[in-house]
């Protein structure tokens, strides 16, 4: 039983390490993806960024001003961010222009992506812990059966001719 407790503790520590690793990887990866954004549907990074910004209602890495440091912003030269940064309640009047920041989502996407991933990881951790508890209960039931069996005379081994029957 002690070994199982140690194993369960190690498993939880591995999952906690995984959460911090995921957060670090998101920090690194999201900057790369924003740098590769070109605003076209043919580019997977562009589709991913637009989708995330619409679904999570966010803009940029930390906020909408992060777009000013991207290749897309420098190449477009129109002082705007992608349309996916536009708040949904504004409607079609939003052009992504930085002269109207009130039309844009204010919160950055990095924190929201990390938050969503942590939520998912917590579901994974709880599922793993549930399976560990079920396994522990199974081992406990097996121990109870073995203990009862060894005390019950009906389960004594019969020795006939040097072999077990």
**Averaged pLDDT for residues 82-89:** 89
Would 165 be classed as within a structural domain?
Answer: no
Beta bridge pairs of residue 160: 163
Answer yes or no: are the C-beta atoms of 88 and 57 closer than 8 Å: yes
In a domain, 60, yes or no: yes
pLDDT tens string 134-151: 999 999 998 888 887 766
pLDDT in the model for residue 158: 57
Q: Is the pLDDT of residue 102 over 80?
A: yes
Q: State which residues form the domain around 60.
A: 2-160
In a domain, 63, yes or no: yes
- 87 in a structural domain: yes
The number of distinct structural domains making up the chain is 1
Report the pLDDT value the prediction gives residue 41, as an integer from 0 to 100. 79
pLDDT tens digits, one per residue of 19-62: 667 677 777 788 888 888 888 878 888 898 999 999 999 999 99
Residue 12 within any structural domain of the chain: yes
CATH number of the domain bearing residue 25: 1.10.1450.10
**Residues 27, 88, 82, 51: is their CA dihedral positive or negative?**
positive
């Amino acid at each position: 039983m002690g070994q199982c407790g140690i194993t369960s503790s190690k498993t939880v520590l591995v999952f906690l390490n995984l959460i911090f690793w995921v957060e670090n990887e998101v920090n690194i990866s999201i900057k790369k993806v924003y740098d590769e954004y070109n605003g076209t549907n043919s580019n997977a990074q562009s589709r991913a960024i637009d989708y995330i910004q619409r679904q999570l209602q966010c803009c940029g890495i930390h906020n909408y001003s992060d777009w000013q440091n991207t290749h897309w912003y420098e190449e477009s030269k129109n002082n705007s961010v992608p349309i996916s940064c536009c708040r949904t309640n504004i409607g079609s009047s939003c052009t992504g222009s930085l002269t109207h920041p009130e039309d844009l989502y204010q919160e950055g996407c990095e924190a929201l992506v990390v938050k969503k991933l942590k939520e998912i990881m917590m579901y994974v951790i709880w599922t793993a812990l549930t399976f560990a508890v079920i396994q522990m209960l199974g081992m406990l039931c097996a121990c109870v059966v073995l203990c009862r069996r060894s005390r019950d005379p009906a389960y004594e081994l019969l020795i006939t001719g040097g072999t077990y029957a």
